[in-house]
Amino acid sequence: MDFREPDHIRLLRDTMRAFIAREAPREAAQRWDREDSTPRAVFEKLAATGVCALTVPESHGGAGRDIIAAMAVIEELSRRSLALAVPYIMCACYGGMNLVAAGSEKQRAQYLPRLARGELLFAYGLTEPDIGADLANVRTRATRRGDTVIVNGAKRFCTGAAIADTIYTLVRSDSEAPKYKNLSFVLVPRSAKGVSIARMDGLGMRGASLCDVSFDDVELPLDHVVGEDAGWNQGWPMLAGPALDVEKLEVAAMALGLASAALDDAWAYAHERKQFGVAIGAHQSVRHVLADCKATLAAARLVLMHAAWLAGENRPCGVESSMAKLFVCESAETIVLACQRVMGAYGCVAGVDMERYVRDILVFNIAGGSSAIQKNNIANRLDLKRG
């Protein structure tokens, strides 16, 4: 087995690092965090590099489905700013991956070429004020009246809703059908009449537009149901399949990028900062911390890339994606907090990148399914008996 990254992935990373150095300097990332703003103009330049096409087949204007490459892009963007990484996910993953997997041919033809060019952003409308992990019991409802669908309800922690073109919304579509057979996904335009969006002020992931969304008699044509008529009441297979599996990998890739950035900064600081007449990197206590971080980061990257490879090969990866989400996000939090301690008081000062990494990393053991949920997924899917 060859565990080296393919040449095209290494070249892609080089391209992303050059783009970030040119278009997203540290000062800009700090400003986006401080202002809680999304750099749409920078994202448009990012889209011009072609990376949004990595999740779209060539038949629909893309570069071909390459999950490992998409995860590498997410990781590299996250090293600098989640305000760039999240819009990329909204386009390439929430939009591209989901419509490739679940959209009708008409929807693929309509949306995928534009997603491949980076012209559209999709937000996920999954969780609700009273519904988190238990998505099968969402209360937002969609009813059919002929060729029209009426949506009513509310979504919470809807990342990117204020900047999205479309909200990929999970709804209860049948009040009589049994659980898991009563859900659908609906493409709700942000500009549709009856859609209200309120931004939330979060601890981390600033610039990613965390929102509350409400739907008040939002009328949509039937072709806004994902999969169209054939997709009605088929939302659970769409959700439980590639949608959630790959979302776990996206979250893990962001956490991995943050941990990489924190370790780079702490490593450089250990060379520059002197105490007791020598650089602090000469002290065993610091050397051991950073060595542990390097080893843990390497293991986390391998776990993520293995799960991404399975997803890219269309192989079952439910267990592996949960393992990646659990291990990478837990490990990344450990790495970032250890690196903050290496930097001491300088790692706690607003305006220093390490302080932002700490705020951001605390999100990722919750976002995309908490660590407890991933442990349940692993035990359940590996058939661990309850008694």
pLDDT band with cut points at 50, 70 and 90 for residue 385: confident
Round to whole Å and give the CA distance between 95 and 124.
Answer: 9
pLDDT band with cut points at 50, 70 and 90 for residue 1: confident
Q: Is the pLDDT of residue 386 over 90?
A: no
Radius of gyration over every alpha carbon of the chain, rounded to an integer in angstroms: 21
CB-CB contact of 93 with 100 (8 Å)? no
* The pairing of beta strand 195-199 with beta strand 183-189: unpaired
Q: Is the pLDDT of residue 387 over 80?
A: no
pLDDT band with cut points at 50, 70 and 90 for residue 144: very high
Q: Is the pLDDT of residue 244 over 90?
A: no
Residue type, 368: G
Q: Is the pLDDT of residue 288 over 80?
A: yes
pLDDT digits 0-9 by tens, 181-201: 999 999 999 999 999 999 999
Give the domain ranges of the chain: 7-120, 125-233, 237-381
CB-CB contact of 213 with 161 (8 Å)? yes
Please tell me the pTM assigned to this model: 0.96
DSSP code per residue over 113-130: HHHHTT---EEEE--BTT
pLDDT of residue 37: 96
Query: E strands along 135-288, which residues?
Result: 141-145, 148-155, 166-172, 183-189, 195-199, 211-221, 274-275, 278-279
Reference 328, options 252, 229, 270, 241; nearest CA is 252
List the structure tokens of 171.
């709804």
Give phi and psi for 143, each to the nearest 5.
-120, 150
pLDDT digits 0-9 by tens, 2-60: 888 999 999 999 999 999 999 999 999 999 999 999 999 999 999 999 999 999 999 99
Average the pLDDT over each of 174-178, 216-220, 332-336, 371-375 and give the range with the smallest value: 174-178
CB-CB contact of 136 with 180 (8 Å)? yes
CATH, range 125-233:
2.40.110.10
Average pLDDT, the chain: 95
In CATH terms, the superfamily for domain 7-120 is Acyl-CoA dehydrogenase/oxidase, N-terminal domain (1.10.540.10)
Percent pLDDT > 70 in the chain is: 99
Round to whole Å and give the CA distance between 56 and 59.
Answer: 8
Q: Is the pLDDT of residue 273 over 80?
A: yes
pLDDT band with cut points at 50, 70 and 90 for residue 243: low
Round to whole Å and give the CA distance between 376 and 368.
Answer: 14
The mean per-residue pLDDT over the stretch 143-150 comes to: 95
Reference 49, options 67, 73, 83; nearest CA is 73
Reference 235, options 311, 138, 154; nearest CA is 138
pLDDT digits 0-9 by tens, 101-132: 999 999 999 999 999 999 999 999 999 999 98
Round to whole Å and give the CA distance between 166 and 160.
Answer: 10
Round to whole Å and give the CA distance between 95 and 92.
Answer: 6
pLDDT digits 0-9 by tens, 59-80: 999 999 999 999 999 999 999 9
Longest dimension (CA), the chain: 79
CATH, range 237-381:
1.20.140.10
Instruction: Mention every residue, 6+ apart, whose C-beta is less than 8 A from residue 372.
Output: none
